[in-house]
């Protein structure tokens, strides 16, 4: 049982590491999630919707704001994705590039 927990922990750490973007030149764009209401410590979007603390409000195709998981993110012109701060959107490859 202890070996199974250890192996599972290793896979989780590898999955988390694969999502890090500090040392890469290109990362996958993150989808913009729907904004909520009445969140604690929320970031309030211009249309009154709310994102969790540390997220960024991005305008979506519907004309409403959604939430990007990255703080101070770059909202992509497709209004479907966002990129980490310091990256630019490449819609053709659906990646974020430095």
CATH number at residue 82: 2.10.25
Note the maximum CA span of the chain: 50
Rounded CA separation 89/91 (Å): 6
20 within a domain of the structure (yes/no): no
Q: 37 in a domain, yes or no?
A: no
Does residue 10 fall inside a structural domain? Answer: no
- CA-CA-CA-CA torsion sign (13, 39, 83, 85): negative
Q: Is residue 4 part of a domain?
A: no
Q: What is the pLDDT of residues 52-92, one digit of tens each?
A: 999 999 999 999 999 999 999 999 999 999 999 999 999 89
Whether residue 33 is contained in a domain is answered as no
Model pTM score: 0.66
Taking alpha carbons only, the member of 17, 11, 55, 15 closest to residue 35 is 55
Residue 32 domain-assigned (yes or no): no
Question: Domain range holding 86?
Answer: 43-97
pLDDT in tens, 14-59: 333 333 333 456 677 787 788 776 777 899 999 999 999 999 999 9
Q: Could you give the CA distance from residue 37 to residue 90 in angstroms, rounded to a whole number?
A: 31
């Amino acid at each position: 049982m202890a070996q199974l927990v250890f192996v599972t922990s290793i896979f989780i750490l590898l999955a988390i590491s694969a999502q890090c973007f500090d040392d890469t030149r290109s990362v996958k764009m993150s989808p913009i999630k729907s904004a909520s209401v009445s969140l604690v410590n929320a970031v309030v979007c211009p249309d009154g919707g709310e994102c969790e603390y540390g997220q960024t409000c991005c305008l979506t195709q519907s004309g409403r704001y959604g939430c990007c998981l990255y703080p101070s993110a770059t909202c992509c012109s497709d209004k479907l994705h966002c990129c980490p701060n310091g990256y630019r959107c490449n819609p053709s490859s659906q990646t974020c590039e430095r």
